[in-house]
Amino acid sequence: MRQVSLAIVGIDYPNKRGPARRFELEMCSPGEPIELRPEPANPYDEHAIAVFSCRGVQLGYLKSERAVWIGTLSRQGHAISGIFQGATASVAWVRVAFDNDDFALPVVKPQREVGEFWPDDIYPDD
């Protein structure tokens, strides 16, 4: 099966106990394992899947439409594992693999200055 990158939502909300989610995101490194924990008793979303760091601190949740899909695959017997992929000031991502697939983090292209738009890669003049 394939691998997907999924956004983590709720990264600005406080945790009930332990370090803040933002603080824990700063502690995470790309490639660290994460844990996905279904929360069927969640009062806001019965399909909620919480994302926890390798230190057991909650980072947030998977987006609701993706949580339904991940939950369905899990109930169908697919093994689902994840690693931390990265974070910016406004969003964080995890990489999820299915059925014991080996992880491969996507190649990150260098960021350009804010406001610049380059639809194609710029190759050096040879």
**CATH number, domain containing residue 22:** 3.30.70.2330
pLDDT of residue 119: 54
Any idea of the CA torsion for 66, 11, 13, 37, to the nearest 10 degrees? 50
Report pLDDT for 23. Answer: 93
Q: Is 115 inside any structural domain?
A: no
**Residue 39 forms part of a structural domain:** yes
pLDDT of res. 1: 56
Q: How many structural domains are present in the chain?
A: 1
Tell me the CA end-to-end span of the chain in Å, nearest whole number: 40
pLDDT digits (tens, 9 = 90+) for 99-123: 887 777 776 655 555 555 555 555 5
119, part of any domain: no
Query: Residue 28 — very low, low, confident or very high, per pLDDT cuts 50/70/90?
Result: very high
Q: Give CA–CA dist 47/18, Å, rounded.
A: 24
pLDDT tens digit string along 46-70? 999 999 999 999 999 999 889 999 9
Domain that holds residue 33: 3-98
Q: Please state, in angstroms and as integers, the Cα–Cα distance from residue 74 to each residue in 27, 55, 60, following that order.
A: 28, 23, 19
